[in-house]
């Protein structure tokens, strides 16, 4: 396993002029030896570009890639000793499940007894142990992708295992199991895993550290808890969570916050910042409260939805929609009614130029 350091930028254009010409803006990034990482972001943000630069399929237009302190910028995927799992299964139909799993080890001339032991271990982890002698040809897409995952994980001497949206073809129920399985496998095998996805649930279940990307930039690296509790950028606030964070433009001065003509005192003990800034509060921390109390804004209820395990209240503060996730035990006001919403508290975040400041 290896520690991987990136210090680079990448443009697919020969002479980039502006930020828009870059698939990856200048960045430095470290993947710890043995860490489980997810690269998370919407389509086109640069995830695959970063993964291909790490694997060696693509050379960055500027900068370097180091594995364990050794410059690997121009090295091929083979020379980097990387294992990759793609969106669609890569298996040999004429071979059995066991032979497919053993293939990367046979290629390295590993002794037969060791191959048998390692294949057995991986097959058991992925619950393929009862199918080892079955031919791959007749298997479902799900089973074939499990073999691909197994082939990616079977070698213990790789620098890292890279996954590019590997659960896309998997049935939803099995997807849920496999996400947890991969986390457990990481725990047991201590491989450096880098997992690309645009699905926040996938990233949050699997990874220890999540790199959230937007338009060629890594906007935050953190644990699932960091991303939820203290989004470093308004994009992370929007992107993580269901629904995302409420982000509201405010004016803050002398312990009073103005939002759409309402002036509300900041509750005692809450750190704020001055000026024209943005307030972020997660729907999970947005509560109904008595209007007129510190931190409570007056809102007009638009909609109340029962979402099974909680109720989602949508209300308007001036021209801004605010969402609150509330327990089923609450008796909620009807649409059109005026309600107080507590938006300022210890979970409030404040942003200037989209970056977290308090």
Ligand X SMILES: Nc1ncnc2c1ncn2[C@@H]1O[C@H](COP(=O)(O)OP(=O)(O)OP(=O)(O)O)[C@@H](O)[C@H]1O
12 touches ligand X (CB under 6 A):
yes
Residue 45 or 162 with smaller CB distance to ligand X: 45
| Helix (DSSP H) and strand (DSSP E) numbers for the chain | 9, 21
44 touches ligand X (CB under 6 A):
yes
Q: Smallest distance from the beta carbon of 38 to ligand X, in angstroms?
A: 13
87 touches ligand X (CB under 6 A):
no
Residue 274, both tokens: 């001055």
Residue 137, both tokens: 């040809």
x-marked contacts with ligand X along 160-199 as a string, rule CB under 6 A: --------------------------------------x-
45 touches ligand X (CB under 6 A):
yes
46 touches ligand X (CB under 6 A):
yes
Q: How far apart are CA 98 and CA 92, in angstroms?
A: 11
260-292 as b/e: b if 16+ CB within 10 A:
eeeebebbeebebeeeebbbbbbbbbbbbbeee
47 touches ligand X (CB under 6 A):
yes
Q: Smallest distance from the beta carbon of 197 to ligand X, in angstroms?
A: 9
Number of residues lying near ligand X (CB under 6 A): 11
Residue 217 or 325 with smaller CB distance to ligand X: 217
Q: Please give the residues from 197 up to 236 whose contact with ligand X meets the rule CB under 6 A.
A: 198
**Candidate list 4, 23, 232, 356; residue touching ligand X; CB under 6 A:** 23
Residue 77 or 291 with smaller CB distance to ligand X: 77
Part of the chain binding ligand X (CB under 6 A), chosen from 46-54, 59-67, 225-233, 290-298: 46-54
Residue 132 burial class via C-beta count within 10 angstroms: exposed 0-12, middle 13-18, buried 19 and up: middle
DSSP characters for 283-313? GGG-EEE-TTSTTEEEEEEEEEEE-SSSEEE
DSSP characters for 208-264? SEEEEEETTEEEEEE-HHHHHHS-SBHHHHHHSSSS--EEEEEEEETTEEEETTEEE
Q: Smallest distance from the beta carbon of 285 to ligand X, in angstroms?
A: 30
Q: How far apart are CA 58 and CA 56, in angstroms?
A: 5
Q: Smallest distance from the beta carbon of 42 to ligand X, in angstroms?
A: 7
**Candidate list 18, 43, 78, 319; residue touching ligand X; CB under 6 A:** 43
* SS3 (DSSP) at 63: strand
Note the residues at the interface with ligand X (CB under 6 A). 12, 23, 41, 43-49, 198
């Amino acid at each position: 396993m290896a520690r991987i350091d990136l210090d680079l930028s990448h443009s697919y254009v020969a002479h980039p002029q502006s930020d828009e010409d870059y698939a990856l803006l200048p960045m430095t990034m470290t993947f710890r030896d043995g860490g489980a990482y997810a690269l998370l972001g919407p389509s086109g943000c640069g995830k695959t570009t970063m993964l291909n630069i790490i694997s060696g399929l693509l050379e960055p237009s500027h900068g370097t890639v180091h594995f364990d302190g050794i410059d690997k910028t121009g090295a091929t995927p083979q020379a980097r000793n990387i294992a990759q799992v793609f969106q669609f299964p890569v298996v040999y139909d004429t071979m059995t499940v066991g032979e497919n799993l053993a293939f990367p080890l046979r290629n390295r001339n590993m002794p037969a007894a060791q191959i048998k032991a390692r294949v057995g271990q991986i097959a058991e982890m992925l619950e393929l142990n009862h199918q080892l002698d079955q031919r791959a040809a007749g298997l479902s897409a799900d089973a074939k992708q499990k073999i691909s995952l197994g082939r990616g994980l079977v070698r213990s001497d790789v620098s890292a295992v890279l996954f590019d949206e590997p659960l896309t073809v998997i049935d939803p129920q099995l997807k849920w199991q496999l996400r947890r399985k991969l986390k457990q496998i990481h725990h047991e095998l201590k491989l450096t895993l880098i997992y690309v996805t645009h699905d926040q649930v996938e990233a949050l279940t699997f990874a220890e550290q999540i790199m959230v990307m937007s338009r060629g930039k890594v906007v935050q690296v953190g644990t699932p808890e960091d991303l939820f509790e203290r989004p470093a950028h308004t994009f992370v606030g929007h992107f993580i969570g269901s629904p995302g964070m409420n982000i509201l433009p405010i004016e803050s001065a002398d312990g009073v916050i103005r939002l759409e003509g309402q002036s509300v005192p900041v509750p005692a003990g809450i750190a704020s910042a001055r000026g024209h800034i943005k307030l972020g509060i997660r729907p999970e921390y947005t509560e109904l409260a008595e209007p007129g109390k510190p931190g409570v804004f007056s809102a007009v209820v638009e909609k109340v939805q029962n979402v099974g395990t909680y109720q989602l209240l949508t209300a308007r503060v001036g021209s801004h929609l605010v969402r609150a996730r509330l327990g089923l035990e609450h008796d909620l006001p009807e649409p059109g009614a005026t309600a107080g919403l507590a938006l300022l508290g210890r979970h409030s975040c404040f942003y200037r130029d989209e970056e977290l400041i308090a």
